Chain A
Amino acid sequence: MVSTTSTKRLSLSAWLKTITFYEILVGMKATLSHLLNYRPVTLQYPHEKRTLPDNYRGMLALLRYDDGTEKCVGCDLCEAACPSRVIRVVSAEVPGEPTKRYSKEYYMDMTRCLFCGMCVDACPVDALGMTREFEWAVYDKRQLHLNKQQLLAIGDRSFPVQEKRLELQHPNVAFFNVAFKHVPPKPD
């Protein structure tokens, strides 16, 4: 209202603006215009949800082939790629088939995951996928320490379309097992 340094003389218009609270009235007009043109930006979250972008990176999951076998070959590349050390893989031979390996145990500590998607990129057999789930708030953070069964269950419920298992699955011919609509369906 009053200038702290009284050396500067106020012009007539500035003086008029001061005594009529002109600046305050301008601010009040701005707030009132927002009240009259009421267009809230709020999204009432639990009742209405934002449409997710197509490349949304949500909860991680382990995937299966269409005959129910796990895709994971236990190569540990996801563990190596992860910047947050979320993943721990215990690899083992498939019993009776010395040329094949699988992940005997597979743990993900989702409290540390930053959803960068590097593990999905690193996987040579597309055994990992990022679902569109994001509502994973829990009361006990130990519930976010997921094991292989839980990760497979997430994959089963999020990716109903499963990749066909070929007789000889080479890493370089692996197709991306994506359930997005704009990607044409895979030829059988």
Chain B
Amino acid sequence: MTEFGLRLAISLTQIAAVMGIVVITVLILTLAERKVLGWMQDRMGPMEVGPYGILQPVADAIKLFFKEDIIPAGANKFLFTTAPILCLIPSFIGFAVIPWGPNQTFEVGGITVRPFVISDINIGILYILAFASLGAYGIILGGWSSNSKYSLLGGLRSAAQIISYELNVGLSIVGVLILGGSLSLVTITDAQAGGFWHWYLFALPAPQIFAFVIYVISAVAETNRVPFDLPEAESELVAGFFTEYSGLRFAFFFLAEYANMVLVSCVAAALFLGGWNAPYPGTIMAFIGAPSLAWIENTMWFAVKTYSLLFLFFWLRATLPRLRYDQLMRFGWKVLLPIALGNIVVTAIAVFIYQQMK
């Protein structure tokens, strides 16, 4: 009983820490996005709340908390209430299998604790993909239950878009899975240790550059970000699937979108960019004789990679206009899908030949 209690306490601590980090990251992102967009457009971004506007996320959060919660007339109340939760949970639950730091363990009261991953399940990436697809239900149901044509159109667009681009995400990852020989993110990240030439983006025998590009494009589409933000195209659909949402429910959708961005960036960092591995062999901390502090360096590298990808999201948003709907579908099915399939074939052949030669 005490052992179970200890395990529960450790797991809950880890979950709370990860949730806290993700929520803080989302708060930072909301400010960072507005700031980066502003700087790229020769504006200043938010400047009023706090010095240089750094307290703007707090002000936004307080505002959303105290706003009136409106349920439109004719809305399906149960689904209208459930949809934001359905959207939020899948985007947070994926973080359970992300390895934040080195694969090391320590003992607490006879229990082995892995501090940098909540749960290393052997189908980690499949689990993330499955839950990411479930998030589409929240969007579709939110759009349908609002009893508004804009919401419904946004939800339908989102359904088609997420199904199309989920496929490309899944197929672009297959190359990495062939190279790594595992579905566990911890195993895949461990296999990329020892310098950036071992990252699956560049690794022999089959560099996954095309797969990485497809993954990034599809991830942008899957998280409904510009230039693939058709479900919430404000110039056509007011705000898309969350047109009728206000207050805390809107905040849930907002949080889910940003948490999804963080999640896909983490997955891209772990699969293609070596996760927490530094771009040089080993760590500086181990080199200068403090190997017990190497985890700081490694987690920092993971953060750098994730934040670079998040910056790419903002950068694309500042640069590109929105695609037309038929362009989006054609690009997904006629361009990305064949390239992803070709990448699987080439990777499989290359890995087979590589193993025969050894």
Do chains A and B interact in one complex? yes
Residues of A within 8 A of B (CB): 1-2, 24, 27-28, 30-32, 34-35, 38-42, 44
Which residues from B are CB-within-8-Å of A27? 319-320
Please state if A42 and B43 are interface contacts (CB–CB under 8 Å). yes
Which residues from A are CB-within-8-Å of B335? 1-2
Of the residues B39, B315, B318, B327, contact of A38 by C-beta under 8 Å: B39
Asked if B280 is at the interface (CB within 8 A of a chain A CB), the reply is: no
Cα A1 to Cα B214 with chains together (Å): 14
Of the residues A24, A28, A30, A41, contact of B43 by C-beta under 8 Å: A41
Which residues from A are CB-within-8-Å of B36? 35
30 residue pairs A–B, Cβ–Cβ below 8 Å: A1-B331, A1-B335, A2-B330, A2-B331, A2-B334, A2-B335, A24-B319, A24-B320, A27-B319, A28-B319, A30-B319, A31-B318, A31-B319, A32-B40, A32-B315, A34-B40, A34-B41, A34-B42, A35-B36, A35-B39, A35-B40, A38-B42, A39-B42, A40-B38, A40-B42, A40-B43, A40-B44, A41-B42, A42-B42, A42-B44
Cα A1 to Cα B47 with chains together (Å): 38
Cα A24 to Cα B312 with chains together (Å): 13
Which residues from A are CB-within-8-Å of B334? 2
Please state if A28 and B315 are interface contacts (CB–CB under 8 Å). yes
Cα A44 to Cα B41 with chains together (Å): 16
Q: Given A24-B319, A31-B315, A35-B36 in contact, is the A44-B42 Cβ separation under 8 Å?
A: no
Q: How far is the CB of B314 from chain A (nearest CB, A)?
A: 10
Q: How far is the CB of B44 from chain A (nearest CB, A)?
A: 5
Which residues from B are CB-within-8-Å of A31? 40, 315, 318-319
Cα A34 to Cα B327 with chains together (Å): 29
How many cross-chain pairs have Cβ atoms below 8 Å apart between A and B?
44
B227 nearest CB neighbor, chain A only: A24
Cα A122 to Cα B193 with chains together (Å): 84
Cα A28 to Cα B335 with chains together (Å): 22
Please state if A28 and B316 are interface contacts (CB–CB under 8 Å). yes
Please state if B44 and A44 are interface contacts (CB–CB under 8 Å). yes
Q: How far is the CB of A18 from chain B (nearest CB, A)?
A: 10
Cα A114 to Cα B44 with chains together (Å): 32
Which residues from A are CB-within-8-Å of B43? 40-42
A29 nearest CB neighbor, chain B only: B319
Chain B CB count within 10 A is highest, among A35, A39, A40, for: A35
Q: How far is the CB of A66 from chain B (nearest CB, A)?
A: 44
Q: How far is the CB of B158 from chain A (nearest CB, A)?
A: 21
B316 nearest CB neighbor, chain A only: A28
Q: How far is the CB of B137 from chain A (nearest CB, A)?
A: 30
Which residues from A are CB-within-8-Å of B44? 40, 42, 44
Q: How far is the CB of A29 from chain B (nearest CB, A)?
A: 9
Cα A42 to Cα B39 with chains together (Å): 11
Q: How far is the CB of B103 from chain A (nearest CB, A)?
A: 35
Which residues from B are CB-within-8-Å of A35? 36, 39-40
Cα A154 to Cα B44 with chains together (Å): 35
Cα A41 to Cα B41 with chains together (Å): 9
Q: A34-B40, A38-B39, A39-B42 are in contact. List 17 more A-B contacts (CB 8 A).
A: A1-B327, A2-B331, A27-B320, A28-B316, A28-B319, A31-B315, A31-B318, A31-B319, A32-B40, A32-B315, A34-B39, A35-B36, A40-B39, A40-B42, A41-B42, A42-B44, A44-B44
Q: How far is the CB of A83 from chain B (nearest CB, A)?
A: 37
Q: How far is the CB of B31 from chain A (nearest CB, A)?
A: 16
Which residues from B are CB-within-8-Å of A40? 38-39, 42-44
Cα A41 to Cα B43 with chains together (Å): 6
Q: How far is the CB of A44 from chain B (nearest CB, A)?
A: 6
Cα A27 to Cα B41 with chains together (Å): 13
Q: How far is the CB of A36 from chain B (nearest CB, A)?
A: 9
Q: How far is the CB of B214 from chain A (nearest CB, A)?
A: 12
Cα A39 to Cα B43 with chains together (Å): 8
Which residues from A are CB-within-8-Å of B42? 34, 38-42
Q: Which of B145-193 contact A (CB under 8 A)?
A: none
Q: How far is the CB of B101 from chain A (nearest CB, A)?
A: 30
Which residues from A are CB-within-8-Å of B38? 40
Q: How far is the CB of A40 from chain B (nearest CB, A)?
A: 5
Chain B positions 281 through 322: 1 when the CB is less than 8 Å from some CB of chain A, otherwise 0: 000000000000000000000000000000000011011100
Q: How far is the CB of A178 from chain B (nearest CB, A)?
A: 37
Which residues from A are CB-within-8-Å of B320? 24, 27
Which residues from A are CB-within-8-Å of B39? 34-35, 38, 40
Please state if B47 and A44 are interface contacts (CB–CB under 8 Å). yes
Cα A20 to Cα B334 with chains together (Å): 17
Cα A42 to Cα B48 with chains together (Å): 13
Q: Would you list the 4 A-B pairs with minimal beta carbon distance, nearest first? A: A31-B40, A27-B319, A42-B44, A31-B318
B318 nearest CB neighbor, chain A only: A31
Chain B CB count within 10 A is highest, among A2, A31, A32, for: A31
